[in-house]
Amino acid sequence: MAGDALIELRGVNKHYGNLHVLQDIDLTVGRGEVVVVIGPSGSGKSTLCRAINRLEAVESGTIKLDGRPLPEEGRALAQLRAEVGMVFQSFNLFAHKTVLANIMLAPIKVRKKKKDEAARRARELLDRVGLASQADKYPAQLSGGQQQRVAIARALAMEPKALLFDEPTSALDPEMINEVLEVMRQLAREGMTMVVVTHEMGFARSAANRVVFMADGRIVEDRTPEEFFTAPRSERAKDFLSKIL
């Protein structure tokens, strides 16, 4: 894996005022790897995702995607964001656009795809997430689980090198969680590189290559799910697991 790192963070630090929200973060995500990030609320998981996508600037350290440092701004940055898709807890679909139009938008604007090609691809992706029949609906007409699957299709439409998920099922009713996790498991099986912040420990156990446990802005453990769940080393992880399992 070390020979083929897709996402690489070295010595990354960030503060919000006095709060040291990312502390000396070293993290490597290999191509095709699924890394689940867990940890208490406020430990810096979302900030880590946002730093990887350069939605947040960091103060020191380096972040590389496919061997290249993240660009600071401009066209190169827009290109980078297109290469790393992000799926949020709140689906962030455009309410006044149909499902199909939501998926077509960025490929047309950013990738300069032709409209008919973007539409064809969007239909393929909807089929892939089990929503082929919903193309002409508006987001509000769909369930939360369906909206999140549209958000995943929309991220995939940019043909990203990696996908970041920040608590993708936390806003969903329990009966809808599995349909979203199943789409994510399928992506993992197909070899998509994924960083997934989640409290779904079943997903972590079954789909992750590695579990990264964060507390107070630090990566405290970075191990296989088997190792992490059966024998957490740190008191912080033991305490966290005792509360959620």
Binding site for ligand ADP (CB under 6 A): 16, 19, 21, 39, 41-47
Burial of 170 (0-12, 13-18, 19+ CB in 10 A): middle
Residue closest to Mg ion when measured from CB atoms: 46
* 53 lines the binding site for Mg ion (CB under 5 A): no
- Selection from Mg ion, ligand ADP, none that 16 binds (CB < 5 to 8 A by kind) is ligand ADP
DSSP secondary structure code for residue 132 in this structure: G
| Tokens coding 143 | 């369930």
Q: Which is nearer to ligand ADP, 21 or 187 (CB)?
A: 21
CB of 214 to ligand ADP, least distance (A): 7
Rounded-to-integer distance, Cα 122 and Cα 150, Å? 10
DSSP secondary structure code for residue 85 in this structure: E
Task: Judge contact between 71 and 57, C-beta under 8 A.
Answer: no
In the chain, the amino acid numbered 209 is N
CB of 204 to Mg ion, least distance (A): 16
Q: Hey, CA dihedral for 219, 233, 192, 94, is it positive or negative?
A: negative
Tell me which residues in 32-51 interact with Mg ion (CB under 5 A). 45-46
Q: Which is nearer to ligand ADP, 19 or 76 (CB)?
A: 19
Q: Which is nearer to ligand ADP, 27 or 119 (CB)?
A: 27
- Selection from Mg ion, ligand ADP, none that 21 binds (CB < 5 to 8 A by kind) is ligand ADP
